[in-house]
Amino acid sequence: MVDLSEARFRDFLDAREGDHIRAVRLYNWNAEACGTLLEVFHHVEVLLRNAIDHQFPATEPHRPISILRPGIWLTDPEIVKDQGREGVNDVIARVWNDGRTPTRGTW
């Protein structure tokens, strides 16, 4: 078992009316529930990222990629601020500078 502070474990003890064994079981259940939620969050993040990616027009891998060009929704200042768009382009430039070809999977 993980070494918990008394203050942190107190919530579990209080929830189980001071029964140490039941509090440990609740703590373990909580840890499992958190792990399950992280797995769900992972899948949601991948689905969301893919849905966003599908909104971009096709790009040719041998041409420099830039989202600061017309026709890409991320160039809309109502949606994304200049700093965010510039940040993406900075990442794309770093990929090129590292001698790699930026693909949708690298940014």
Residue where the block lists tokens 């992972």: 42
Q: What is the pLDDT of residues 14-27, one digit of tens each?
A: 999 999 999 999 99
- pTM, entire model: 0.50
End-to-end CA distance of the chain: 39
Do 18 and 65 lie in one domain? The reply is: no
Q: What interhelical angle do 20-53 and 6-15 show, nearest 10? A: 100
Cβ contacts of residue 69 below 8 Å, gap of 6+? 75
Cβ of 93: how many Cβ atoms within 10 Å? Answer: 14
Do 3 and 43 lie in one domain? The reply is: yes
- Number of structural domains in the chain: 2
R_g of the chain computed on alpha carbons: 23
Separation CA 71–CA 58 (nearest Å): 11
Please report the pLDDT score of residue 94 as a whole number. Answer: 87
Containing domain of residue 91, as a range? 58-107
Do 6 and 40 lie in one domain? The reply is: yes
Q: What is the pLDDT of residues 6-59, one digit of tens each?
A: 899 999 999 999 999 999 999 999 999 999 999 999 999 999 988 887 777 666
